[in-house]
Amino acid sequence: MTSICNFPLGVSQVVGPSEPVVAIVGDDTVLPCHLDPAVNAADMTVEWTRSDLTPKFVHVWRDGVELVNKKNEAYMERTSLPINNLKLGDISLKLSKVKLSDRGSYKCFSPALSGQASVELVVGVVSSLTITVMRNSEDSGKVVLQCESAGWYPEPELLWLDGEGNLLSAGPTETLRGPDDLYTVSSRVTVEKRHSNNITCRVQQRNTNQSRETHIHVPGDLFNPSCSSAAHITIAVVVTVLLILAVVLVVWKYRSKHRGRNFTRTSSDHRSLQLDTEEKGETKHLTEDSVDTVDINTKQENLEAQKEKQALDKFHLLTAVNLLMNHKFNLEKDIDELTSEVRELEKQQDKNQLVTNMQQTEQNNIQSAKINQDEETKNIFRSMKQALDKKIHENESVVYAVQVMTEKKEELDKTLETILEQLEKIKNRNEVQM
């Protein structure tokens, strides 16, 4: 509040502002004070002081010059009283490069008028914001965002807004005060697809009326539950079926090899029997026709057994192929969609979809914030592209499995066809002999 003394009629009064002066660290500001009615104060003594400092003098003007030897070192080369303003009765103090330590109560005083006015300076510090994108491990259909900002004074508050400017329910804001009296705030919010893809994090100070905010565009694919438990279950089922089929194929090959050995051994036994019979002159009891009949019957039995085995293998294979074919169309469609999303992400990265809109402060702060935000953008798009590439690889593996199983089915069909042809020849030969 302004403090004004009572003066005799016709004597000017020292008048200050009715509201505190708010300044941001690094900016220049003016502490208002003037004479009412206005008189030329260029030849007067004007003192600006802070009672909590030693020495207390911030700026002393006397006999048309500044008395630097009385000045507190903290304000050296940072204060001035423009001479043109003094001539008009304006004794406002210009303060350059405001520091956090400048906050406090100032006195504007002129001994010639025997009066003074109080000016309260509130100093604020604002900073840039960064947003980190994280997946929610409990529900992949949601996305967790974290916003953090360091270097604020006084203590600020943090808010989350959707694309329509509505407040989002978020977790409690964590506030830390450092040894330099500056505050660091951070908060997390869980967003769903029903929210707008444009989310805003805002940090503001009520008493300084200062705020900073940053916006993030959350790509829709982050809400896609394609990596959810349902997809993992499908992949697990497909892998299990493939393992079972691998075991079936190994057993089938083993049995086929074993039957082949039996068939060879049986044929060898018959040939040995025929040779022994010829050497002993017993060909009258075992003719060539009888040996051929035994060979044909044995071969027919082996072929019948192989036919049944091939039919059983084909049944299991068809079951697996049908299961995989049911997923093949959707998987190929997913691959196309995921590939499109990867391309879209690359386009969004080129266009810098993750943008930061902040009010202008110091040029170096703005450049630093932009560098941090650009790096954060690269990390976000890199993570999303890796996740999409992984999903494409998984889906392509399943589609490849469908192709392999289809080829196996075709091989079984050819083998079964060969067996049937051999059985038909044996049948025809038996009919001729009969």
Domains and CATH numbers, the chain: 13-123 (2.60.40.10), 130-223 (2.60.40.10), 227-433 (no CATH)
CA 155 distance to own-chain centroid:
28
Burial of 137 (0-12, 13-18, 19+ CB in 10 A): exposed
CA 396 distance to own-chain centroid:
24
Closest among 373, 385, 390, 424 to 128, alpha carbons compared: 373
Closest among 411, 394, 393, 401 to 243, alpha carbons compared: 401
What per-residue confidence (pLDDT) applies to 423? 77
DSSP 167: B
CA distance 77 to 93: 13
Taking a C-beta distance cutoff of 8 angstroms, is the pair 143, 42 a contact?
A: no
Cβ atoms within 10 A of the Cβ of 248, count? 15
Helix (H) or strand (E) holding 382: helix 363-433
CA distances from 63 to 66, 75, 116, 123, 351 (A): 8, 21, 19, 32, 62
DSSP 225: G
Extract the tokens encoding 199. Answer: 């989310």
Strand partners, 62: 65
CA distance 142 to 36: 63
Cβ atoms within 10 A of the Cβ of 372, count? 14
Taking a C-beta distance cutoff of 8 angstroms, is the pair 171, 187 a contact?
A: yes
Extract the tokens encoding 47. Answer: 């003192």
What per-residue confidence (pLDDT) applies to 219? 78
What per-residue confidence (pLDDT) applies to 44? 92
Residue 304 DSSP SS3: helix
What per-residue confidence (pLDDT) applies to 109? 92
Q: What is the pLDDT of residues 183-198, one digit of tens each?
A: 999 999 988 876 567 8
Cβ atoms within 10 A of the Cβ of 134, count? 12
Residue that the structure tokens 């016709």 belong to: 10
Taking a C-beta distance cutoff of 8 angstroms, is the pair 108, 117 a contact?
A: yes
CA distance 289 to 238: 53
Strand partners, 188: 146
DSSP 90: B
Collect the ranges in the chain with pLDDT lower than 70: 1-10, 114, 135-140, 194-196, 221-241, 246-248, 250-296, 307, 310-335, 337-338, 340-388, 390-402, 404, 409, 433-434
CA distance 303 to 291: 18
CA distance 113 to 46: 10
Please state whether beta strands 21-24 and 115-124 pair in parallel, antiparallel, or not at all (unpaired). Answer: parallel
CA distance 56 to 50: 5
CA distance 354 to 377: 6
CA distance 35 to 26: 29
Strand partners, 57: 49
DSSP 283: T
What per-residue confidence (pLDDT) applies to 313? 66
CA 73 distance to own-chain centroid:
49
CA 282 distance to own-chain centroid:
90
Closest among 28, 184, 4, 13 to 121, alpha carbons compared: 28
Taking a C-beta distance cutoff of 8 angstroms, is the pair 78, 99 a contact?
A: no
